[in-house]
Amino acid sequence: MSRRRLSVAVIGAGMAGRSHAAGYRQVNTVFGEGLPPIRLAAVADANETLARDAARRYGFEKAVFSWEEIVEDPTIDAVSIVVGNALHRPIAEALIAAGKHVLCEKPLAGSMEDGRAMVAVEEDADVVTAVGYTYRRSPAIAAIRDHVRNGELGDLSLFHGRYWCDYACDPRSPLTWRFRGGLGSGALGDIGAHVIDAAEYLCGPIVAVSGGAVSIQIPKRPLPLGAVVGHGAAPVSDEVGEVENEDTAMFTARFESGLTGSFSVSRTVFGVPNGLGFDVYGLDGRAAFDFHRPAEYLFDDAQPEARTRGVRQVIVGPQMPYFHGGYPMEAPGVGIGNQEAFIYQCRAFLDQIAGTPDPLPANASFADALHTMAIIQAVVRSSQSDGGTVEVASVSSGMPVEADAPANPAPPA
């Protein structure tokens, strides 16, 4: 393990970019002492105001205004890519060619072609590559995974997952990059990727989907008059443009184990901000999680005493994964939040780079994230074939993956 200082940078200073920046700032405050010193080198964004504010806010040495400056800086070792999906491939390829380690936000890329190219680069790279699925770092979700793996739920019988948001309910919200791109790059790529990954994290690989249905609730949106940060409001013009991807999607999935799952994803569910949740059932028990109550989960199992059987609330605490050593006040019931997951994710990425003893579990790879994209493409194809069953294309080395679906076929009404 090297004690040489690790220099990190973040490309993208929006809401997720700031979460990465804050995560790097705190990686040496959690878990063991194994990491070398971390240098917070730079935040890059074409929006100079955003870049300067993020660099100041999270203690980075400087703000720069093009991602190429990060690539060309020989002192930077590791970089988070937190920009629009279509930019992931060129930035990742340039960073890897420059010998830098890369943590890329999900979805992996703006198209299957770009995703395949990134996986090919990953296979030949002599650097660490990773993709951010922060919900894997939830103590409650990781604890439920332990219940599943330990057989406490028995043979699994059903999974139901959902990710509902309301950020696109307002028809006057501006037409940003999130509403551009073909079907599959909307709610499915933005938030569906997370619940798909959580399902496979708990239950194993998905091999086929059916019953795919996608829809666009707001087909036109006004063009913004300036920069838009995250899901925030912004001045808009009277000119409108077409929404190119889905607001809502539903499908069922068949897991490799034979388990059946159902999924619903939407960015137009009124009054539900950031509502990831799931229920997993087995023949001997069940568990449920709702991110609106991230410091707990519900659990029920086959207790021998009928009088005490029933669902119970489990409060996360030091007995859960990530909590011990990863939370300042190590006491049950003090809560857990979104930012901790980014800290743990950044720490796992740097652990892998530094060869830290007893590191956190590694982040997902580019290949893992391409598999998620293949599931999303299968959902789109199912929706285009009246809900027919579509096998998930293999993304293993040397295996072909089907081309992208047509850019913007008419979605079901």
Would you give per-residue pLDDT tens digits along the chain (413 residues)? Answer: 447 899 999 999 999 999 999 999 999 999 988 899 999 999 999 999 999 999 999 999 999 999 999 999 999 999 999 999 999 999 999 999 999 999 999 999 999 999 999 999 999 999 999 999 999 999 999 999 999 999 999 999 999 999 999 999 999 999 998 999 899 999 999 999 999 999 999 999 999 999 999 999 999 999 988 777 767 677 888 999 999 999 999 999 999 999 999 999 999 999 999 999 999 999 999 999 999 999 999 999 977 776 777 899 999 999 999 998 998 888 888 888 899 999 999 999 999 999 998 899 999 999 999 999 999 999 999 999 999 999 999 875 333 344 444 333 333 33
What is the amino acid identity at position 340?
E
Which residues, including other chains, have CB under 8 Å from residue 131's CB and lie 6 or more apart?
103, 104, 105, 106, 108, 363, 364, 365, 366, 368, 369
Q: Could you report the per-residue pLDDT of 381-411, keeping only the tens digit for each? A: 999 999 999 999 987 533 334 444 433 333 3
pLDDT of residue 402: 41
Superfamily classification of domain 138-335: Dihydrodipicolinate Reductase; domain 2 (3.30.360.10)
Task: Give the full edge-to-edge strand order of the sheet including 206-215.
Answer: 312-315, 296-301, 285-290, 275-282, 156-164, 260-266, 248-255, 206-215, 390-391
Domain boundaries, the chain: 6-135, 138-335
Q: Which helix (H) or strand (E) holds 322?
A: none
Q: Which helix (H) or strand (E) holds 405?
A: none
d(CA 265, CA 246): 10
d(CA 233, CA 170): 10
Token pair for 202? 């708990």
Whether residue 301 contacts residue 285, with contact meaning beta carbons closer than 8 Å, is answered with yes
Q: Which helix (H) or strand (E) holds 363?
A: none
Query: What sign has the CA pseudo-torsion 30, 361, 80, 102?
Result: positive
d(CA 25, CA 14): 16
d(CA 132, CA 254): 24
Q: Could you report the per-residue pLDDT of 141-193, keeping only the tens digit for each? A: 999 999 999 999 999 999 999 999 999 999 999 999 899 989 999 999 999 99
Using DSSP, state whether 259 is helix, strand or coil. Answer: coil
Q: Could you report the per-residue pLDDT of 101-134, keeping only the tens digit for each? A: 999 999 999 999 999 999 999 999 999 999 999 9
d(CA 179, CA 172): 13
Whether residue 340 contacts residue 323, with contact meaning beta carbons closer than 8 Å, is answered with no
CATH of domain 6-135: 3.40.50.720
pLDDT of residue 346: 98
